[in-house]
Amino acid sequence: MTRPRSTLVSLSDTAWYHVVSRCVRRAFLCGEDAHTGKNFDHRRGWIEARIRQLASVFTIDVAAYAVMSNHYHIVLRVDAQRAQALSDDEVLMRWTQLFTGPLLVRRYLDPCTRVELGAAELARVQEWAQLYRARLADLSWYMRVLNEGIARLANQEDQVKGRFWEGRFKSQALLDEQALLAAMAYVDLNPIRAGMAKTPEASDYTSVQARLQPQVVEERVQHAIATMQAPSILAAPESVVVRHDAAEVAAAQEAPAASKACATLDTNEAAMAGLTPAPLLPFDATGREDWAIPFAFEDYIDLIETLGRCVHPKKRGFIPEKTPKLLERLGIDTEAFIEHAASLLKAFGSAIGKPAALVELAARRQAKFLRGMKAANRVFESQAA
């Protein structure tokens, strides 16, 4: 049974999540279309660039990503404390990089007109700031802005209407270090597992390539941003309906008739196209910073290279002679980890973690069980005792 998003994404349970979004009917709308012969790989660049651009606005940090031909994966961390620490002005400035904002907010952000605002208007601006503050740490809003923006660009490019994505994104809570490592490795190895690349550094549109070849990926991201700003793409046909922020539309309906035209606001495409891509989350081998990835970068790359030789379709059956350091430290069974490398995330439901973590989460959700207990016992508890 489908569960409400609020129960699946609960920051009191964990700040780490793995999300997946697929193209409608799993069509190759972002890669090579064998039926038509058209290549849409540039859209993979759009998604890669926008994932990191939005991370510079939202208080959501990206640990890993992989953009495939018909879907993409992201492993991310939602930082609600950082959102609470922002001032009202910082919140409003961030949000208006995504949406142009109500007229009252724009007047507040303009030093020339701010002095003209009365006490009631300033109080209303504070209400907007509180609403936007919550949204900056909201995974659903991050995914909404990401998916709607890409869908709009693709539909404008093709001069069509209709869905681009299957439906709402899928999410999995990552309850512990073992779950985080499994999710990141699964995501970064997607191109190798699909036979699209032979090595991590050759895995295009992935975070592991961004870490190993930063200059190459930076140039690709900047090129993608430039093509997203191309007039031929952004000049929307009259038939395209601009989707407004529902809360802003409500504000427009409450505004005087003379100001309704200004108060009904849409996506701030110009500002969004100019956003600076945020860096990926850093690794912290000491584990002292709860916002960083709690592994040594060298150990993670060693694991990815070792596992990559095991999951490649032409090299399957390879078993490493030496257990990678990360698997040994976290008590993960090497053979079980390799065995589940292609299906680990499918074996779990809405959460991934050690058996004890799954039991605790099921109790908090008042559920009888969570899917994935068998896989958790097999992979994460092999060295317990």
Series of mean pLDDT values for 10-residue runs along the chain (385 residues): 70 95 87 82 95 97 96 97 97 94 94 94 96 97 95 90 91 95 95 91 96 96 88 42 47 41 54 89 90 95 89 63 85 84 83 93 88 90 52
Report the candidate in 78, 62, 84, 76 with the shortest Cα–Cα distance to residue 134.
84
Kindly provide the b/e burial profile for residues 340-375, where b requires at least 16 CB atoms within 10 angstroms of the residue's own CB. bbbebbebbbbbbbbbebbeebeeebeeeebebbeb
Q: What's the length of the chain?
A: 385
Q: Given this model, what pLDDT does residue 254 score?
A: 44
Q: Which residues contact 141 (CB under 8 A, 6 or more apart)?
A: 58, 135
Regarding pTM above 0.85, the answer is yes
- 61 Cβ contact partners less than 8 Å away, ≥ 6 residues apart: 55, 76, 77, 79, 278, 280, 281, 291
CA distance 343 to 91: 40
Cβ 26 vs Cβ 70: under 8 Å = yes
The DSSP element (H or E) to which 146 belongs, if any, is: helix 139-158
DSSP 8-state secondary structure symbol assigned to residue 175: -
Write down the pLDDT at residue 36.
77
Residue showing tokens 């790359």? 301
Residue pair 347/295 in contact (Cβ under 8 Å)? The answer is: no
pLDDT of residue 357: 94
The Cα–Cα gap between 206 and 189 comes to 9
The whole-number pLDDT of residue 5 equals 67
Alpha helices in 16-60 (DSSP H): 41-55
Look at residue 385 in the predicted model and tell me its pLDDT: 38
- Which pLDDT value is given to residue 271? 78
State the pLDDT at residue 179.
Answer: 95
Q: Report the alpha-carbon distance of residue 138 to residue 129 in Å, rounded.
A: 14
| Per-residue pLDDT, 116 | 94
Contacts of 135 (CB under 8 A, 6+ apart): 95, 141
Q: How far is Cα 186 from Cα 159, in angstroms, rounded to an integer?
A: 35
Cβ(74)–Cβ(22) below 8 Å = no
Distance in angstroms (rounded) separating the CA atoms of residues 174 and 183: 8
236/206 Cα distance (integer angstroms): 30
> What are the residue ranges spanned by the domains of the chain?
13-79+139-229+276-380, 83-136+231-273
pLDDT at 249: 46
Q: What is the C-alpha to C-alpha distance for residues 363 and 6, in angstroms, rounded to an integer? A: 16
Name the amino acid, one letter, at 371. Answer: R
Q: Cα–chain-centroid distance for residue 94?
A: 18
Which DSSP symbol is given to 381? S
The pLDDT value recorded for residue 274 is 83
Sheet architecture: strand order including 71-78: 60-67, 71-78, 16-22, 170-174, 351-352
Other beta carbons within 10 Å of 32: 12
Q: Are strands 351-352 and 170-174 parallel, antiparallel or unpaired?
A: parallel
pLDDT for position 310:
82
What backbone torsions phi and psi does residue 17 show, to the nearest 5 degrees?
A: -145, 150
| Burial class for 40, CB neighbours closer than 10 Å (0-12, 13-18, 19+) | buried
The contacts of residue 371 (CB under 8 Å, 6+ apart) are 347, 348, 349, 350
Cα(153)–Cα(136) distance, integer angstroms: 23
Domain spanning 13-79+139-229+276-380: CATH 3.30.70.1290? yes
Q: Residue 264 contacts by C-beta under 8 Å, 6 or more apart in sequence? A: 244, 248, 249, 252
The two structure tokens encoding residue 75: 């492993």
